Amino acid sequence: RKLIDSATIGICVLQDAKLRFVNPRTLELLGYRESELIDRPFLEFVHPDDQMTARANHAKRIAGLGEGLTYAVRMQTRHQGWRWVEVSGVRFEWHGRASTLNFIVDITERRESEQQIRDLAYHDTLTHLPNRRLLMDHLKMARAAYHRNGKHGALVFIDLDNFKPLNDQHGHAVGDLLLIEVAQRLLHHIRGADTAARFGGDEFV
């Protein structure tokens, strides 16, 4: 009990898919009092989009099929909104009935870092438009879709006139502002299903 109470990760017991025990770290992570969690369904605190994942993985664990099973879901906290947590655990007996002992770790910062890395790989850092790499992926998908349904699309290539003289006369900071403004205007004038991308330099597609 001392080990569980002093643990730096959240530890909780689920029985009949309800919280039967929570350690102090779980209370700290979620921002609730113990009385607000005990005997409440675990899924009440899981994001609606993640409830199917949580339900299916809990069923696996309770059936004894969850060895090494770890999954991520968003949980509602009182003080920090939705937070990403990683859930692992084991099946065990709690007062003579099948239950799960679950370990909860907040991975929100890690998920945000991973998302930033993905964004850097596929989006232009200045305008936040898709970059050439993501544009080529979108073009491949569009061509495949047109091949299936017999429809057609349009591709428009745009470059800005006199962009270099602007940079030379007013500096790169002003040139960057112009590129950002162009990106915003393109986004404003296309449909949700369309793609606007920065091809490179002063070139847009």
CA angle 78/79/82 to nearest 5° reads 70
pLDDT computed for residue 153 by the predictor: 86
Which DSSP letter does residue 66 get? -
> What digits encode the pLDDT tens for the residues 120-141?
788 998 999 999 999 999 999 9
Whether 204 contacts 159, CB under 8 Å: yes
pLDDT computed for residue 118 by the predictor: 79
Distance, CA of 50 to CA of 1 (rounded, Å): 31
**Residue 16: CB partners within 8 Å, gap ≥ 6?**
none
Closest CA to 186 of 142, 129, 141, 139: 129
Q: What is the pTM of this model?
A: 0.64
* Residue 113 pLDDT grade (very low, low, confident, very high; cuts 50, 70, 90): confident
Closest CA to 40 of 60, 7, 12: 12
pLDDT computed for residue 105 by the predictor: 96
Statement: residue 162 has pLDDT above 80: yes
By three-state DSSP, how is residue 204 classified?
strand
> What digits encode the pLDDT tens for the residues 138-161?
999 999 988 899 888 899 999 999
pLDDT computed for residue 81 by the predictor: 95
List, in sequence order, the alpha helices (H) in 31-87.
Answer: 34-37, 51-62
pLDDT averaged over every residue in the chain: 93
> What digits encode the pLDDT tens for the residues 51-62?
999 999 999 999
Computed on alpha carbons and rounded to an integer, the radius of gyration of the chain in Å comes to 25
Statement: residue 119 has pLDDT above 80: no
